[in-house]
Chain A
């Protein structure tokens, strides 16, 4: 659940956009992003020097989703040029400058739930009901409505409560608790823009916590320039690794 939540946060606007544009028959969707990441685990490691401890990693790129092919392509432009392609049970990573490539092949689905999340957008409550969650209770604090969602009975040993915060019908926060009730992940959604009938957060701040609620990772992602059903089709969606490049294949 924690892993799923991470990409859920990262690509949240993508599937919200998918939801917003569902009526318009979404074929492709592209979204620029800027992600600033601080990893607390590495930061806290005593073997690293001072400058390495305080490093914030910034990644800039574009996400592309092809609804028909059920494929996601992440095009990174900074700090290096990198193309990640996720389709079915395979993840391919290509470095055009270094001419190197990886292919991860998984027995099961590669854990990139945003693909499923995009498809889930036709479902109410951001796909929580589809995952088997049910509304437990709600409370109002100030101008924010908090709804508490509990996992299905058979999953209660593995999953915890999800708490969604809404202000003026806009999702502004989401908390995921582990089965012990400790905080597992939290995200804050800001700078909503209106697209069609929906409001999309273009800034997401997310924190992921260890089982005892120690901070593992903190990131801020700014999304911009949403583009739907681009014509002509962005060639990156038909990208394949050149045959001349030796691909390191890793079974996972």
Chain B
């Protein structure tokens, strides 16, 4: 039983990684900001029904819970990265400017 749960957990995590469209969620976060993050939290990635073929009820129960949790986590993570990337870019730009602009001005 323990082995089955472990198998279900590993498979669900890896399938979620493979199924999640990370680039898409990044841009949804980038353009949608808070709304994008909310969509990422609420959207449920569909799964392949064939993954349940010949699997036990315990496997299905554990797989379903793990898959849902993992896909949501990934979606939200990438939407957050997308939403905050303009801010990070701005901070980096300000830092670079404040660091290199004086050097540039001295040289001239």
Partner of B61 from the list A82, A91, A111, A248 (CB cut-off 8 Å) is A248
Q: Considering the complex, give the chain B residue whose CB is closest to the CB of A35.
A: B53
Q: Is B52 an interface residue (CB 8 A)?
A: yes
Docked Cα-Cα span, A86 to B49, in Å, equals 10
Docked Cα-Cα span, A110 to B50, in Å, equals 11
- 10 additional A-B residue pairs with CB within 8 Å, beyond A91-B49, A95-B56, A111-B49: A35-B54, A41-B11, A74-B53, A78-B54, A84-B53, A93-B60, A102-B60, A110-B49, A210-B18, A252-B46
Within 13-39 of B, Cβ neighbours of A (below 8 Å) are at 14-15, 18
Q: Are B11 and A42 neighbours in the complex by a CB distance under 8 Å? A: yes
B interface SS class: helix
List 4 A-B pairs, minimum CB-CB distance, nearest first: A59-B54, A41-B14, A100-B57, A45-B10
Q: Is B7 an interface residue (CB 8 A)?
A: yes
Q: Are B11 and A111 neighbours in the complex by a CB distance under 8 Å? A: no
Partner of B64 from the list A6, A7, A250 (CB cut-off 8 Å) is A250
- Which residues of B come within 8 Å of A, CB atoms? 3, 6-7, 10-11, 14-15, 18, 44, 46-50, 52-57, 60-61, 64
Q: How far is the CB of A204 from chain B (nearest CB, A)?
A: 13
Contact with B along A223-252 (1 / 0, CB 8 A): 000000000000000000000000010111
Q: Considering the complex, give the chain A residue whose CB is closest to the CB of B65.
A: A250
- For B11, the chain A residues whose CB sits under 8 A away are 39, 41-42
Docked Cα-Cα span, A106 to B64, in Å, equals 14
Q: Are A76 and B53 neighbours in the complex by a CB distance under 8 Å? A: yes
Q: Are B57 and A59 neighbours in the complex by a CB distance under 8 Å? A: no
Docked Cα-Cα span, A21 to B22, in Å, equals 43
Q: How far is the CB of A52 from chain B (nearest CB, A)?
A: 7
Q: Are A6 and B50 neighbours in the complex by a CB distance under 8 Å? A: yes
- For B46, the chain A residues whose CB sits under 8 A away are 3, 106, 108, 111, 252
- For A59, the chain B residues whose CB sits under 8 A away are 53-54
Q: Are B10 and A82 neighbours in the complex by a CB distance under 8 Å? A: no
Q: Is A140 an interface residue (CB 8 A)?
A: no
Docked Cα-Cα span, A57 to B61, in Å, equals 19
Partner of B14 from the list A45, A61, A82, A250 (CB cut-off 8 Å) is A45
Within 15-61 of A, Cβ neighbours of B (below 8 Å) are at 35, 39, 41-42, 45, 47-48, 52, 57-59, 61
CB pairs A–B below 8 angstroms (5 shown) = A86-B49, A98-B56, A102-B60, A102-B64, A250-B64
Q: Are B57 and A102 neighbours in the complex by a CB distance under 8 Å? A: yes
Residue among B10, B14, B47, B54 with the most chain A CB within 10 A? B54
- For A7, the chain B residues whose CB sits under 8 A away are 48-50
- For B50, the chain A residues whose CB sits under 8 A away are 6-7, 10
Q: How far is the CB of A213 from chain B (nearest CB, A)?
A: 13
Q: Is A216 an interface residue (CB 8 A)?
A: yes
Q: Considering the complex, give the chain A residue whose CB is closest to the CB of B17.
A: A41
Partner of A3 from the list B3, B10, B48, B64 (CB cut-off 8 Å) is B48
Docked Cα-Cα span, A91 to B44, in Å, equals 16
Q: How far is the CB of A22 from chain B (nearest CB, A)?
A: 25
- For B14, the chain A residues whose CB sits under 8 A away are 41-42, 45
